[in-house]
Amino acid sequence: MLSGRITAGNNPFRNCHFSAPVVSGEIDMPSVAVHDATVWYELMGSPSEPAMVLVSGTGGTMHSNWGHLVPTFSKKRRILLVDYSGSGKTTDDGGPLSVQMLVDQIMAAVQAASLDRFDLVGYSLGSCLSMTIAAQHPERVRSMVLLAGFFDGSDRRNTLQAGLWLDLIERDPVLFARMIVLNGMKPERVSAMSQADINGWIQAIVQNNDWKGISRQIDLDRRLNVTGVLDKILAPTLVIGCKYDQVAPISHSREMARRINGSSYAELDAGHLAPFEQAHEFAQLVMGFVG
């Protein structure tokens, strides 16, 4: 849901800078043609390390969702970041999105980057895409971590939420940004933020989102249903639910963990914006699981 950089001096997320990360090793920023799309991706870190593919959530970009985490992950992994349709510099015909379309784009970047097997980390909508990749390419996915995920966006609550988001974006993106800040984090954390911090988050969301792109992704959120892939996942999987998640309620993560054979389960004391709210704890869970 978030792009840009927050600069409020007293920001509790001051270590989470939503821009290109600084890592050791090589950084490559090419693109790949996939049907009518030009998909941009980044490959960073040492080629000698095992690969890890990070899959963003709705409205996120390779930098806004992952920039503050890549320096940690890249110590032991070669990182592939992909901006699928609706995000970042990636362009296409502007039509409706589908899960398979975005999965094909991510896998095209994997192929272009010459990655064989990889760990897969998906956040929110990225969890839906990651589960589909794992089910369709079991020989490629070494392990998988799913954060704040869901598998059926067509339920009444999610369609109500998605419709509200689209209405807010159309009428006034500031209202949408205020709702994301209000509902995206643990209530006590929002209460403890200064007004400058809150304004910084709202400003970053408003100024840096691609509103046409995020609207297309929200439309996909309310249509997708990947229930059919859950029992086809073979990779060792860690499902992470967020106790205060008002976007993808924790019941989704618990059910995913129940349905994915042999999966492990953990919870974070955070809302849907857990990659920022509990960045250190999330990174520890990921690296502890993938080894």
What is the spatial distance between Cα 159 and Cα 147, in angstroms, rounded to a whole number?
20
| Catalytic annotation, pick one of 3, 124, 130, 143 | 124
Taking the C-alpha atoms of residue 140 and residue 106, their distance in angstroms, rounded to an integer, is 13
What sign does the dihedral 188-152-165-280 (CA atoms) show? positive
Q: Is 68 a catalytic residue?
A: no
Give CA–CA dist 76/79, Å, rounded. Answer: 9
Helices marked H in the chain: 62-66, 70-73, 99-112, 125-136, 156-171, 173-184, 187-192, 195-208, 211-221, 250-259, 274-277, 279-290
Q: Is 35 a catalytic residue?
A: no
Instruction: Please indicate whether residue 104 is annotated as part of the active site.
Output: no
- Which of 63, 68, 252, 272 is labelled catalytic? 272
**Do 242 and 268 form a contact (C-beta atoms < 8 A)?**
yes
From the candidates 127, 245, 252, 253, give the one annotated as an active-site residue: 245
Cite the active site residues.
124, 245, 272
